[in-house]
Amino acid sequence: MGQQRGAATTDRIVNAMTVDVEEYFHVTAFDGVLPRSRWDTLESRVCATTDRVLRILDDAGVSGTFFVLGCVAERHPDLVRRIAAQGHEIASHGYAHRLVYDQTPAAFRADVVRAKAILEDASGTPVLGFRAPSYSITPRSLWAFDVLIETGHVYDASIFPIHHDRYGIPVSPREAYVITRDAGSLVEVPATTCRWAGLNLPVGGGGYFRLLPYAWTRFGIDRVNRVERRPAIFYIHPWELDPEQPRLPCGLLSRVRHYRNLHLTESRLRRLLRDFRFAPLRATVSALPRSRPERLSTAYALPYLW
């Protein structure tokens, strides 16, 4: 387990380390400029970059949750087995990296069922968690929760409680909560934000980890741990540690979001693992009913969204 070097008051807080396993060309920003028919013609780098993440976590003594794309697991089942063999949780990122709100419920069901079966076959472990590509469970796709419950998922990590041009449910609670539907219930674990000046500001990783100074991430996670006394959910993609990846054509905004500061990600990640404690998301979810029973014993309703 990574060693905590922050304030003594945060020593007992264990955050969740999560990795979204996908190729550099799977990113949503390239959907309009790179036909999916070309995916099989491009250089695959996901095994090398994921192995790099695995080495970094191993150096720090940290286990995490790897949300693996089904199409990656289908092409590289040995990668999934390596991740599981090193003690990490295998969870689902769907099969084809399609935005949830661009699919029909039937297509989404087929996608997640296919991914779950491939991942469970490769890893030999049950897949309990799901994270939508680009956090694409939004007010347009809340029906996805019914599908996830019906297909045997126990928790979801697809909501980002912020305003964004591609994703976000700003009115979502910032803490984990239970979503109850006719088919059953599941735990929603939103991406971590820091409440500041009346706004939810993202501090949980991804592009925000690369684009903004490391001090912002450290401040935000420390504040969530120390002031709110709850764990943060951190996420990263293996391609974010790959400054040598091929450059693909895209607009200026997407180019900045995808390529900026790739060369800094590894050193920042190693520093983060020294500054805070981390574990798989499943462990964090399992601990929540004991630490916050009043939150998780009641279905947390968003009636104006359903």
- Using the predicted structure, report yes or no on whether residue 172 has a pLDDT greater than 80: yes
pLDDT bin (cut points 50, 70, 90) of residue 171 is confident
Contact 207, 257 (CB under 8 A): yes
Q: Is pLDDT above 50 for 27?
A: yes
Instruction: From residue 170, give the alpha-carbon distance in Å to each of 69, 160, 173.
Output: 26, 7, 8
Tell me whether residue 97 is in a domain: yes
Which residue(s) pair with 184 in the sheet? 181
> Percentage of residues in the chain with pLDDT exceeding 90?
66
Task: Report the mean per-residue pLDDT for the chain.
Answer: 87
pLDDT the model gives residue 11: 64
Say which amino acid occupies 154. V
| 301 is a domain residue | no
The predicted structure's pLDDT at residue 261: 86
CB hemisphere CA count around 241 (13 angstroms): 25
Distance, C-alpha 269 to centroid of its chain:
15
Choice between 88 and 166, residue whose per-residue pLDDT is larger: 88
CATH number at residue 76: 3.20.20.370
Q: Is the pLDDT of residue 7 over 50?
A: no
d(Cα 270, Cα 268) in Å, to the nearest integer?
5
- 37 versus 290: the higher-pLDDT residue is 37
The pLDDT assigned to 8 comes to 39
Distance CA 136, CA 126 (A): 23
Q: How far apart are CA 122 and CA 105, in angstroms?
A: 26
Q: 290 with 98: CB under 8 angstroms?
A: no
Report the alpha-carbon distance of residue 88 to residue 110 in Å, rounded. 26
- Give the three-class secondary structure for 31: coil
> Is 304 domain-assigned?
no
Give per-residue pLDDT as tens, 191-229: 999 888 888 889 989 888 999 999 999 999 999 999 999
- Whether 15 is covered by a domain: the verdict is yes
Which two structure tokens, joined as six digits, stand for 43? 């250089």
Find the helix or strand (DSSP H, E) in which 50 lies.
helix 46-60
Q: Does 128 map to a domain?
A: yes
Determine the average pLDDT of the residues in 175-187. 91
What does the alpha-carbon distance between residue 188 and residue 70 come to, in Å, rounded to a whole number? 21
Residue 116 within a domain: yes
- Output the pLDDT for position 290: 33
Q: Which amino acid is at 53?
A: V
Rounded Cα distance, 145 and 123, in Å = 24
Number of domains in the chain: 1
- Residue 302 belongs to a domain: no
Q: What is the dihedral of CA 134, 139, 141, 144, to 10 degrees?
A: 90
The pLDDT assigned to 297 comes to 31
The label of the residue with tokens 């998301």 reads 281
Domain containing residue 232 = 8-296
In a domain, 18, yes or no: yes
pLDDT tens-digit series, residues 80-136: 999 999 999 999 999 999 999 999 999 999 999 999 999 999 999 999 999 999 999
Q: C-alpha distances in angstroms, 12 versus 17, 27, 162?
A: 16, 35, 27
- pLDDT at 292 (0 to 100): 38
Residue 288: the pLDDT is 58
